[in-house]
Amino acid sequence: MSGDSTVPGVLADPCVVAENVAMKYKVISTEEQAKTPSLGWKFLRRIKPNPNTVTVNALNELSLIVRRGESVGVIGRNGSGKSTLMKLVSGQVRPTSGAIHATSTPIMLGVNAALVPELAGDQNVILGGLAMGLTMEEIEARFDEIVEVSGLEKSIHLPMKSYSSGMGARLRFAIAACGNPEILLVDEALNTGDAQFAARSKRRMDELREKAGCVLLVSHSLTTIKDMTGRVVWLDKGDLIMDGEPKEVTKKYMEFTKLLAKGNNNSAFELRAELRSSLEMVNVVNAPESSRSAQVVR
């Protein structure tokens, strides 16, 4: 790759850079399970002994640059790699190959807070706040707001293990949302709250989005995606299919899923191939971790 003809410029302000990221999950083989047999395995092997190891290609060599000020929606069918991308960006899992660069620690709403079930909700607020880098003074100043967002005023002094899974999710969300993250990740699949909480969390999410440097939002709701984002990335079976205007990308995605729903698989996959071949590939070059900067070649 040489000089001016291929490198139009250096991106001044990327927030997140995914550099040829691939993710393969190795699914535990039934052979391995057999070494530590569970009741289920003992039962199943009588029916169908089938030792097997499966590697799932959750993401295939994906490059993506999210700039400061962008709100990027991630769409795709079940199992297309959306949550995997979020887990990679948040650092919960490491890519099999490639790298993720970020200007600061991304905060994933709902899951980042490492809480202790034996401790009361209020003690977990302190713990989660400290884990997010807040000082005791900052936690104290935001305590009432966290409790209000969680909607757990009556149960905040009870041990977290007594909470329902929705209540736990609400507390984790409220704690994660009390910071002002520069890079905000929202995986809608994690939203387990009731309608009242959904409205409250949306309000807080809107505030965070306004303040955040950039946002990545995974959702199956195309309305949410169109309402909340200015750019949409469509993943399918770990491949990037489209990256562009929300209206345009969601329209093509709907066309694709409608074709599949009607059983027109050939037409659907022709469309997929056509869109993929016209995708402008982003090659991230020279993205040193220290400078957290990147050059793009389009």
| Residue 225: CB minimum distance to ligand ATP, A | 13
Which of 176, 192, 175, 193 minimizes the C-alpha distance to 184?
176
Cα–Cα distance list, 289 to 88, 100, 110 (Å): 16, 9, 27
Nearest-angstrom CA–CA distance, 91 and 189: 18
Identify which range of 43-51, 80-88, 142-150, 290-298 contacts ligand ATP by CB under 6 A.
Answer: 80-88
Task: Locate 51 and state its tokens.
Answer: 């030792």
Q: In what order do the strands lie in the sheet with 231-236?
A: 107-108, 183-187, 214-218, 71-75, 231-236, 239-244
Nearest-angstrom CA–CA distance, 275 and 240: 10
Is residue 95 a contact point for ligand ATP (CB under 6 A)?
no
Beta strands in the chain (DSSP E): 9-11, 14-27, 54-67, 71-75, 97-102, 107-108, 183-187, 214-218, 231-236, 239-244, 283-285, 294-297
Beta strands in 163-212 (DSSP E): 183-187
Identify which range of 78-86, 131-139, 167-175, 285-293 contacts ligand ATP by CB under 6 A.
Answer: 78-86
What single string gives the DSSP state of each residue in 127-155? Answer: HHHHHTT--HHHHHHHHHHHHHHHT-TTT
Is residue 78 a contact point for ligand ATP (CB under 6 A)?
yes
Nearest-angstrom CA–CA distance, 242 and 147: 40
Nearest-angstrom CA–CA distance, 7 and 16: 19
Asked whether the beta carbons of 95 and 23 are under 8 A apart, the reply is yes
Q: For the CA atoms of 287, 292, 297, 298, what is the dihedral angle to 10 degrees?
A: 140
Nearest-angstrom CA–CA distance, 46 and 259: 41
| Residue 74: CB minimum distance to ligand ATP, A | 8
Query: Is 74 or 296 the residue whose CB approaches ligand ATP more closely?
Result: 74
Contact string 19-48 vs ligand ATP (x = CB under 6 A): ------x-x---------------------
| Residue 122: CB minimum distance to ligand ATP, A | 32
Q: Residues binding ligand ATP: what is the number (CB under 6 A)? A: 13
Is residue 73 a contact point for ligand ATP (CB under 6 A)?
no
Query: Is 107 or 233 the residue whose CB approaches ligand ATP more closely?
Result: 233
Is residue 190 a contact point for ligand ATP (CB under 6 A)?
no
Query: Is 53 or 162 the residue whose CB approaches ligand ATP more closely?
Result: 53
| Residue 228: CB minimum distance to ligand ATP, A | 17
Using CB under 6 A as the binding rule, the residues of this chain from 199 to 258 that contact ligand ATP are none
Query: Is 103 or 224 the residue whose CB approaches ligand ATP more closely?
Result: 224
Identify which range of 75-83, 197-205, 248-256, 259-267 contacts ligand ATP by CB under 6 A.
Answer: 75-83
Please compute Rg for the chain using Cα positions. Answer: 21
Is residue 80 a contact point for ligand ATP (CB under 6 A)?
yes
Is residue 56 a contact point for ligand ATP (CB under 6 A)?
yes
Question: Which one of residues 76, 193, 213, 246 is an interface residue with ligand ATP (CB under 6 A)?
Answer: 76
Query: Is 55 or 265 the residue whose CB approaches ligand ATP more closely?
Result: 55
| Residue 52: CB minimum distance to ligand ATP, A | 13
Is residue 136 a contact point for ligand ATP (CB under 6 A)?
no
Site of interaction with ligand ATP (CB under 6 A): 25, 27, 56, 58, 76, 78-84, 189
